[in-house]
Amino acid sequence: MENREFYIMEDNLRLHAKLEFPEAEKKTYPLGIVIHGFTGNMEEPHIITAAEAMRACGYASLRVEMYGHGGSDGEFRDHTLLRWLTNALTVIRYARGLDFVSGIVLCGHSQGGLLTMLAGAMERDVLKAIIPLSPAWMIPEEARRGNLLGCPFDPDHIPDEVTHPDGYSLSGEYFRAAQFIHPEDSISRFDGPVLLVHGSADETVPVEYSYRAAAMYRRAELVIIPGDTHCYDRHLDLLSQAIRGFLSGPAFSDHS
């Protein structure tokens, strides 16, 4: 089947996507959806690496950019985790409608990893497995505390706009949406296989969050990449190895 670049529509909103197939020609493929993080996009090396690792295991890969990111519609300042969640549900629905798809795995990095946890709960009967990479599941508790990415605000009187010292702005709705989310509930509702990958020297999302999530999920594998950063700059090879090991390992022995 042909690789393609296209848009998935959510109502009138375009979500930019790339669908790619493994070498071996077949009638059906399992599909791995890969989603970037906050300020990220589908061409980041770790997103490309995750998609490639899936294709090495015979999966088709579908990289998609969420609202306000990459080549998708929407302004960055207006994105929220709730918008991203409906985006992810739209992408999963789209994937279910593809004739060749034999099963779906969802993977996301950082804020996309938190998104993967949330969508995992909502689509618990659809997704064969989830792969949250360095999942930023402290965002909701930081939003409730009034300090996100080192940027303080009043959590009980959220401003219309918050401007980060680095220069980007987010609308207050980002923080209202984040305060509303309770990742623990989503973690407890997914009982399929889970792969968590995290660099031990991650300065954006402390590695402790993946240790905690691994202890809370019923069927989690945790791969710590020693000395690596939030985006696995030092060991993309080990990120790839973790995903390939998981997709070809015992978690999947009950189906092809």
Our CB check for ligand FER shows the closer of 14 and 77 to be 77
Q: Which is nearer to ligand FER, 149 or 216 (CB)?
A: 149
Closest distance of CB 70 from ligand FER, Å = 13
From residue 44, how far is each of 41, 47, 177 by CA, in Å? 6, 5, 26
61/116 with CB nearer ligand FER: 116
In degrees and rounded to multiples of 5, residue 105 shows phi and psi of -115, 135
Give min distance, CB of 125 to ligand FER, in A: 27
Nearer to ligand FER, 205 or 236 (CB): 205
Strand order in the sheet with 4-10: 4-10, 13-20, 60-64, 29-35, 101-109, 127-133, 193-199, 219-225
Q: Return the number of the residue (72 or 111) whose C-beta is nearest ligand FER.
A: 111
CB of 199 to ligand FER, least distance (A): 12
Q: How far is the CB of 139 from ligand FER (least distance, A)?
A: 5
CB of 136 to ligand FER, least distance (A): 4
Query: Residue 130's closest CA among 107, 112, 163, 110?
Result: 107
Of 61 and 110, nearer to ligand FER (C-beta) is 110
Interface residues with ligand FER (CB under 6 A)?
37-38, 110-111, 136, 139, 142, 148-149, 204-205
Q: How far is the CB of 216 from ligand FER (least distance, A)?
A: 19
